[in-house]
């Protein structure tokens, strides 16, 4: 029977054998919320880049693409967009490829890809139910564990990622998947916040930091649960909607 495991930090990716498994990367504030929003707004795909230089190198290969991302939470000077999901409107990203670099989230996606998972999804509160459905589809009738990876913040566990991981785990227990101890613990955290997800973002140091630097409006957006149907997955090096594969 497939097991669900939660990695509280991307540093655990290195010690984890993900071959034949499914990886789900979570960065609620804000990379995976932005990715889900961008695809929902009609972006043709999101290319994760490890850093600013890699994003700049990738851009000429995708004419018309947008350079997007943050450093220290703020838009990178000279880039088209930052990492606020509210910026990823149909007017701005519709029909365009987004090249995205963020401090933790895009690095976690690339880390999971390099560990040989058969599928790499990205997940946020925004698309929890849709990702649950896709994970159940990918695991039905075959062996292989599910690795839920919290991106954290500069090597520290992020409360909102952990609670979101627990929300996914909670939904997956309705299928035929068993949980390891870390998944059980994440689920308990989710159940504590289930009635007020926004509070988990407000209780998080990174959420408070985003408020201080002027991105407080992102928190209520990123706290919405299962309002998007988009399931981002990594196809080669571009994140696209699983439904359109």
Residue numbers at the binding site for ligand MLT (CB under 6 A): 27, 29-31, 70, 73, 83, 102-105, 151, 153, 210
CB of 52 to ligand MLT, least distance (A): 13
Whole-Å CA distances, 148 to 17, 140, 180: 13, 17, 11
Q: Which is nearer to ligand MLT, 22 or 68 (CB)?
A: 68
Q: Which is nearer to ligand MLT, 27 or 138 (CB)?
A: 27
List, in order, residues 6 or more apart from 61 with CB less than 8 Å away: none
Q: Which is nearer to ligand MLT, 31 or 186 (CB)?
A: 31
List, in order, residues 6 or more apart from 69 with CB less than 8 Å away: 49, 52, 55, 75, 76, 79, 82, 83, 99, 100, 101, 102, 106
CB of 175 to ligand MLT, least distance (A): 29
Q: Which is nearer to ligand MLT, 37 or 151 (CB)?
A: 151
Nearest to 136 by CA among 2, 234, 229: 2
CB of 218 to ligand MLT, least distance (A): 8
CB of 106 to ligand MLT, least distance (A): 6
Q: Which residue is nearest to ligand MLT (CB)?
A: 102
Strands 3-7 and 146-150: parallel
Q: Which is nearer to ligand MLT, 26 or 136 (CB)?
A: 26
Alpha-helix runs per DSSP H in the chain: 31-40, 52-58, 90-93, 105-113, 128-139, 159-172, 181-193, 197-202, 205-212, 218-222
CB of 30 to ligand MLT, least distance (A): 4
């Amino acid at each position: 029977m497939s097991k669900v495991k939660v990695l509280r930090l991307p540093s655990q990716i290195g010690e984890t054998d993900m071959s034949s498994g499914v990886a789900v990367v979570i960065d609620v504030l804000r990379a995976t919320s932005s990715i889900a929003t961008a695809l929902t707004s009609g972006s043709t795909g999101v290319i994760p880049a490890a850093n600013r230089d890699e994003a700049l190198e990738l851009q000429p290969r995708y004419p018309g693409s947008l350079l997007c991302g943050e450093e220290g939470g703020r838009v990178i000077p000279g880039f088209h967009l930052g990492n606020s999901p509210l910026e990823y409107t149909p007017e701005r990203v519709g029909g365009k490829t987004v090249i995205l670099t963020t401090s933790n989230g895009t690095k976690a996606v690339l880390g999971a890809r390099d560990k040989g998972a058969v599928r790499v999804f990205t997940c946020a509160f925004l698309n929890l139910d849709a990702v649950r459905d896709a994970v159940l589809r990918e695991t039905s009738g075959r062996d292989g564990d599910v690795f839920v990876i919290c991106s954290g913040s500069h090597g520290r566990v992020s409360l909102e990622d952990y609670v979101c991981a627990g929300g996914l785990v909670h939904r997956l227990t309705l299928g035929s998947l068993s949980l390891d101890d870390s998944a059980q613990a994440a689920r308990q955290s989710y159940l504590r916040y289930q009635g007020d997800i926004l509070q988990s973002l407000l209780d998080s140091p990174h959420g408070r930091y985003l408020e201080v630097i002027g991105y407080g409006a992102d928190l209520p957006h990123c706290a919405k649960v299962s309002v998007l149907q988009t399931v981002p997955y990594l196809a080669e090096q571009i994140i696209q909607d699983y439904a359109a594969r």
